[in-house]
Amino acid sequence: MTSAVEAPVEIEPGLYDIDAEVYHSDPIPGGSLSSTGARKLVKDCPAKFKHWLENPELPKKELEFGSAWHSIVLEDGPELVLVDADKWNTNAVKAEVAAIRAEGNIPLKRHELQQIHDMADALRRDPEASRLLEPGSGAAEQSAFWEDGGVWRRSRFDFLRGDGQLVDCKSARSCRREDLEKAFWEHGYAQQQDFYEAGGVALDLIDPELPMKFVLQEKEPPYLVVVTTCDPMARAIGRHLNQVALNTYAICRANDEWPGYLPTPLMALPAWVERQYA
Protein backbone atom coordinates (compact mmCIF):
# COMPACT_ATOMS: atom_id res chain seq x y z
CA MET A 1 0.00 0.00 0.00
CA THR A 2 1.14 3.58 -0.75
CA SER A 3 2.30 5.66 2.21
CA ALA A 4 1.10 9.20 2.81
CA VAL A 5 3.55 12.06 2.41
CA GLU A 6 3.48 15.37 4.25
CA ALA A 7 2.57 17.79 1.46
CA PRO A 8 2.14 17.89 -2.33
CA VAL A 9 5.38 19.69 -3.28
CA GLU A 10 4.91 18.53 -6.85
CA ILE A 11 1.53 17.00 -7.46
CA GLU A 12 1.68 13.39 -8.51
CA PRO A 13 -0.91 10.65 -8.06
CA GLY A 14 -0.78 9.50 -4.46
CA LEU A 15 -1.95 9.80 -0.88
CA TYR A 16 -1.15 13.01 0.98
CA ASP A 17 -1.31 13.94 4.66
CA ILE A 18 -2.31 17.59 4.24
CA ASP A 19 -4.58 20.09 5.98
CA ALA A 20 -8.22 20.21 4.97
CA GLU A 21 -7.78 23.80 3.78
CA VAL A 22 -5.09 22.74 1.31
CA TYR A 23 -7.22 19.88 0.05
CA HIS A 24 -10.37 21.99 -0.39
CA SER A 25 -8.41 24.75 -2.15
CA ASP A 26 -7.64 22.11 -4.82
CA PRO A 27 -3.84 22.09 -5.28
CA ILE A 28 -4.09 20.45 -8.73
CA PRO A 29 -3.06 22.95 -11.47
CA GLY A 30 -6.07 23.43 -13.73
CA GLY A 31 -8.41 21.88 -11.18
CA SER A 32 -9.66 18.44 -10.21
CA LEU A 33 -13.02 16.81 -9.66
CA SER A 34 -14.01 15.84 -6.13
CA SER A 35 -16.78 13.50 -5.05
CA THR A 36 -18.82 16.49 -3.89
CA GLY A 37 -18.30 18.15 -7.27
CA ALA A 38 -19.33 15.01 -9.14
CA ARG A 39 -22.54 14.83 -7.13
CA LYS A 40 -23.30 18.49 -7.86
CA LEU A 41 -22.74 17.98 -11.58
CA VAL A 42 -25.36 15.25 -11.86
CA LYS A 43 -27.79 16.77 -9.38
CA ASP A 44 -27.80 20.29 -10.80
CA CYS A 45 -26.14 21.44 -14.03
CA PRO A 46 -22.66 22.56 -15.19
CA ALA A 47 -23.47 26.27 -14.75
CA LYS A 48 -24.37 25.80 -11.06
CA PHE A 49 -21.33 23.56 -10.56
CA LYS A 50 -19.07 26.28 -12.04
CA HIS A 51 -20.65 28.94 -9.80
CA TRP A 52 -20.10 26.70 -6.76
CA LEU A 53 -16.44 26.30 -7.69
CA GLU A 54 -15.90 30.04 -8.01
CA ASN A 55 -17.98 31.02 -4.98
CA PRO A 56 -17.10 28.76 -2.03
CA GLU A 57 -19.94 28.43 0.44
CA LEU A 58 -19.54 29.72 3.97
CA PRO A 59 -19.58 26.97 6.62
CA LYS A 60 -23.09 26.18 7.80
CA LYS A 61 -23.81 25.53 11.48
CA GLU A 62 -24.81 21.91 10.84
CA LEU A 63 -21.63 21.30 8.84
CA GLU A 64 -19.55 22.84 11.62
CA PHE A 65 -21.20 20.50 14.13
CA GLY A 66 -20.39 17.55 11.88
CA SER A 67 -16.75 18.64 11.63
CA ALA A 68 -16.56 18.89 15.42
CA TRP A 69 -18.01 15.39 15.78
CA HIS A 70 -15.47 14.10 13.24
CA SER A 71 -12.62 15.66 15.23
CA ILE A 72 -13.58 13.72 18.36
CA VAL A 73 -14.52 10.44 16.67
CA LEU A 74 -11.45 10.34 14.40
CA GLU A 75 -9.13 12.02 16.92
CA ASP A 76 -7.98 14.32 14.14
CA GLY A 77 -9.04 17.76 13.02
CA PRO A 78 -9.58 21.28 14.33
CA GLU A 79 -9.61 22.11 18.03
CA LEU A 80 -13.02 22.40 19.70
CA VAL A 81 -13.24 25.60 21.75
CA LEU A 82 -15.90 26.25 24.38
CA VAL A 83 -17.62 29.63 24.13
CA ASP A 84 -19.36 29.69 27.51
CA ALA A 85 -22.30 31.92 26.65
CA ASP A 86 -25.91 30.87 26.10
CA LYS A 87 -26.41 33.53 23.43
CA TRP A 88 -23.89 34.61 20.82
CA ASN A 89 -25.56 37.91 19.98
CA THR A 90 -23.29 40.36 21.82
CA ASN A 91 -20.41 42.07 20.04
CA ALA A 92 -17.89 40.58 22.46
CA VAL A 93 -19.05 37.00 21.91
CA LYS A 94 -19.33 37.52 18.15
CA ALA A 95 -15.73 38.72 18.11
CA GLU A 96 -14.63 35.71 20.17
CA VAL A 97 -16.42 33.28 17.84
CA ALA A 98 -14.95 34.97 14.76
CA ALA A 99 -11.43 34.81 16.21
CA ILE A 100 -11.80 31.09 16.95
CA ARG A 101 -12.95 30.39 13.41
CA ALA A 102 -10.18 32.56 11.96
CA GLU A 103 -7.66 30.28 13.66
CA GLY A 104 -9.24 27.26 11.98
CA ASN A 105 -10.92 25.96 15.14
CA ILE A 106 -14.58 25.32 15.96
CA PRO A 107 -16.50 27.35 18.55
CA LEU A 108 -19.18 25.47 20.47
CA LYS A 109 -21.70 26.17 23.20
CA ARG A 110 -21.44 24.10 26.35
CA HIS A 111 -24.40 21.85 25.51
CA GLU A 112 -23.06 21.28 21.97
CA LEU A 113 -19.64 20.24 23.26
CA GLN A 114 -21.26 17.87 25.75
CA GLN A 115 -23.49 16.43 23.02
CA ILE A 116 -20.50 15.68 20.80
CA HIS A 117 -18.64 13.92 23.60
CA ASP A 118 -21.77 11.93 24.50
CA MET A 119 -22.15 10.88 20.87
CA ALA A 120 -18.52 9.79 20.70
CA ASP A 121 -18.90 7.76 23.88
CA ALA A 122 -21.97 6.00 22.48
CA LEU A 123 -20.20 5.29 19.20
CA ARG A 124 -17.24 3.70 21.00
CA ARG A 125 -19.66 1.35 22.76
CA ASP A 126 -20.81 -0.01 19.39
CA PRO A 127 -18.68 -3.13 18.71
CA GLU A 128 -18.45 -2.83 14.91
CA ALA A 129 -17.97 0.94 14.81
CA SER A 130 -15.31 0.86 17.52
CA ARG A 131 -13.47 -1.94 15.68
CA LEU A 132 -13.48 -0.08 12.38
CA LEU A 133 -12.24 3.14 14.01
CA GLU A 134 -9.91 1.61 16.56
CA PRO A 135 -7.05 4.05 17.32
CA GLY A 136 -3.85 2.91 15.67
CA SER A 137 -5.64 0.73 13.09
CA GLY A 138 -5.36 3.31 10.31
CA ALA A 139 -4.95 6.97 9.37
CA ALA A 140 -7.58 9.71 9.49
CA GLU A 141 -8.22 12.58 7.07
CA GLN A 142 -6.03 11.41 4.19
CA SER A 143 -6.19 13.12 0.78
CA ALA A 144 -5.96 11.11 -2.43
CA PHE A 145 -5.21 12.52 -5.90
CA TRP A 146 -5.24 10.46 -9.08
CA GLU A 147 -5.68 10.84 -12.84
CA ASP A 148 -8.47 9.12 -14.76
CA GLY A 149 -8.61 9.42 -18.54
CA GLY A 150 -7.16 12.93 -18.57
CA VAL A 151 -9.24 14.12 -15.58
CA TRP A 152 -7.68 14.63 -12.17
CA ARG A 153 -9.82 13.33 -9.33
CA ARG A 154 -9.47 13.85 -5.60
CA SER A 155 -11.00 12.49 -2.38
CA ARG A 156 -10.47 13.04 1.32
CA PHE A 157 -10.91 9.79 3.23
CA ASP A 158 -12.27 9.96 6.78
CA PHE A 159 -10.37 6.83 7.81
CA LEU A 160 -8.13 4.50 5.82
CA ARG A 161 -7.55 1.29 7.76
CA GLY A 162 -4.29 -0.60 7.61
CA ASP A 163 -6.12 -3.66 6.27
CA GLY A 164 -7.16 -1.70 3.17
CA GLN A 165 -10.72 -0.70 4.08
CA LEU A 166 -12.20 2.78 3.86
CA VAL A 167 -14.51 4.07 6.59
CA ASP A 168 -16.70 7.15 6.27
CA CYS A 169 -18.41 8.73 9.31
CA LYS A 170 -21.66 10.66 9.12
CA SER A 171 -24.03 12.10 11.69
CA ALA A 172 -27.71 11.69 10.82
CA ARG A 173 -31.15 12.86 11.90
CA SER A 174 -32.38 9.26 11.79
CA CYS A 175 -30.72 5.88 11.27
CA ARG A 176 -34.01 4.11 10.64
CA ARG A 177 -33.64 2.03 7.47
CA GLU A 178 -36.28 3.92 5.48
CA ASP A 179 -34.77 7.27 6.44
CA LEU A 180 -31.23 6.15 5.58
CA GLU A 181 -32.35 4.91 2.16
CA LYS A 182 -33.76 8.36 1.45
CA ALA A 183 -30.64 10.10 2.82
CA PHE A 184 -28.30 7.89 0.76
CA TRP A 185 -30.16 8.93 -2.39
CA GLU A 186 -30.56 12.62 -1.54
CA HIS A 187 -26.92 13.06 -0.50
CA GLY A 188 -25.41 10.81 -3.16
CA TYR A 189 -23.69 8.42 -0.77
CA ALA A 190 -23.65 5.63 -3.38
CA GLN A 191 -21.80 7.99 -5.69
CA GLN A 192 -19.42 8.88 -2.88
CA GLN A 193 -18.67 5.22 -2.13
CA ASP A 194 -17.86 4.45 -5.76
CA PHE A 195 -15.77 7.63 -6.11
CA TYR A 196 -13.69 6.87 -3.01
CA GLU A 197 -13.24 3.21 -3.87
CA ALA A 198 -12.13 4.14 -7.39
CA GLY A 199 -9.38 6.30 -5.91
CA GLY A 200 -8.38 3.61 -3.46
CA VAL A 201 -8.08 1.02 -6.23
CA ALA A 202 -6.28 3.36 -8.64
CA LEU A 203 -3.63 4.15 -6.00
CA ASP A 204 -3.44 0.58 -4.64
CA LEU A 205 -4.57 1.79 -1.20
CA ILE A 206 -7.49 -0.53 -0.53
CA ASP A 207 -8.47 -4.17 -0.71
CA PRO A 208 -11.14 -4.36 -3.48
CA GLU A 209 -12.78 -7.19 -1.55
CA LEU A 210 -13.48 -4.87 1.42
CA PRO A 211 -16.24 -2.38 0.49
CA MET A 212 -16.23 1.03 2.11
CA LYS A 213 -18.17 1.14 5.36
CA PHE A 214 -20.40 4.00 6.49
CA VAL A 215 -20.57 4.61 10.24
CA LEU A 216 -23.74 6.63 10.83
CA GLN A 217 -24.91 8.05 14.14
CA GLU A 218 -28.05 9.86 15.22
CA LYS A 219 -27.64 13.30 16.77
CA GLU A 220 -30.28 12.77 19.45
CA PRO A 221 -30.10 10.48 22.53
CA PRO A 222 -29.49 7.59 22.80
CA TYR A 223 -27.21 8.37 19.81
CA LEU A 224 -27.87 5.11 17.98
CA VAL A 225 -25.25 3.83 15.52
CA VAL A 226 -25.63 1.93 12.23
CA VAL A 227 -22.74 0.50 10.20
CA THR A 228 -23.56 -0.29 6.58
CA THR A 229 -22.41 -0.25 2.95
CA CYS A 230 -24.19 0.20 -0.37
CA ASP A 231 -25.73 -2.89 -1.93
CA PRO A 232 -24.71 -4.00 -5.47
CA MET A 233 -27.52 -2.09 -7.20
CA ALA A 234 -26.74 1.12 -5.33
CA ARG A 235 -23.06 0.77 -6.15
CA ALA A 236 -23.86 0.25 -9.85
CA ILE A 237 -26.02 3.37 -9.87
CA GLY A 238 -23.28 5.34 -8.11
CA ARG A 239 -20.73 4.15 -10.67
CA HIS A 240 -23.00 5.19 -13.56
CA LEU A 241 -23.63 8.65 -12.09
CA ASN A 242 -19.91 9.20 -11.53
CA GLN A 243 -19.20 8.30 -15.15
CA VAL A 244 -21.81 10.83 -16.25
CA ALA A 245 -20.17 13.46 -14.03
CA LEU A 246 -16.67 12.66 -15.33
CA ASN A 247 -17.79 12.87 -18.98
CA THR A 248 -19.66 16.13 -18.35
CA TYR A 249 -16.71 17.65 -16.50
CA ALA A 250 -14.23 16.66 -19.22
CA ILE A 251 -16.37 18.07 -22.06
CA CYS A 252 -17.21 21.33 -20.25
CA ARG A 253 -13.60 21.91 -19.26
CA ALA A 254 -12.26 21.14 -22.75
CA ASN A 255 -14.69 23.62 -24.34
CA ASP A 256 -14.73 26.04 -21.40
CA GLU A 257 -18.51 26.02 -21.64
CA TRP A 258 -20.70 25.35 -18.61
CA PRO A 259 -24.34 25.29 -19.76
CA GLY A 260 -27.42 25.65 -17.60
CA TYR A 261 -30.56 23.53 -17.70
CA LEU A 262 -31.76 21.93 -20.92
CA PRO A 263 -34.59 23.76 -22.75
CA THR A 264 -38.03 22.74 -21.49
CA PRO A 265 -40.67 23.86 -24.04
CA LEU A 266 -43.36 21.70 -22.42
CA MET A 267 -43.78 21.10 -18.70
CA ALA A 268 -45.36 17.90 -17.39
CA LEU A 269 -46.76 17.26 -13.93
CA PRO A 270 -45.03 14.77 -11.62
CA ALA A 271 -45.49 11.13 -12.62
CA TRP A 272 -47.37 10.35 -9.41
CA VAL A 273 -50.00 12.99 -10.32
CA GLU A 274 -50.40 11.63 -13.84
CA ARG A 275 -50.92 8.13 -12.48
CA GLN A 276 -53.93 9.37 -10.49
CA TYR A 277 -55.63 10.50 -13.70
CA ALA A 278 -54.50 7.67 -16.00
- Please determine, for residue 145, whether its predicted confidence score (pLDDT) is greater than 80: yes
- Given a cut of 90, whether residue 82 has pLDDT beyond it is yes
Cβ–Cβ under 8 Å, residues 182 and 137: no
pLDDT band at 132 (very low <50, low <70, confident <90, very high): very high
What's residue 62's pLDDT? 67
| Res. 1 pLDDT band, cuts 50 70 90 | very low
Please answer whether residues 202 and 1 qualify as being in contact, where contact means their C-beta atoms are separated by less than 8 angstroms: no
How confident is the model over 163-218, as pLDDT tens digits?
999 999 999 999 999 999 999 999 999 999 999 999 999 999 999 999 999 999 99
- pLDDT value at residue 234: 98
pLDDT at 8: 52
On whether the CB atoms of residues 205 and 2 are closer than 8 A, the answer is yes
Looking at the domain 14-257, which fold is it? Lambda Exonuclease; Chain A (3.90.320)
Look at residue 64 in the predicted model and tell me its pLDDT.
85
Domain spans of the chain, in order of start: 14-257
Predicted pLDDT of residue 258: 97
Q: Nearest 5 degrees, angle CA 130-CA 235-CA 226?
A: 25
Mean pLDDT of the chain: 92
Which residues are CB-contacts of 240 (< 8 A; sequence separation ≥ 6)?
none
Q: What pTM value is reported for the model?
A: 0.90
The larger pLDDT score, comparing residue 6 to residue 186, is at: 186
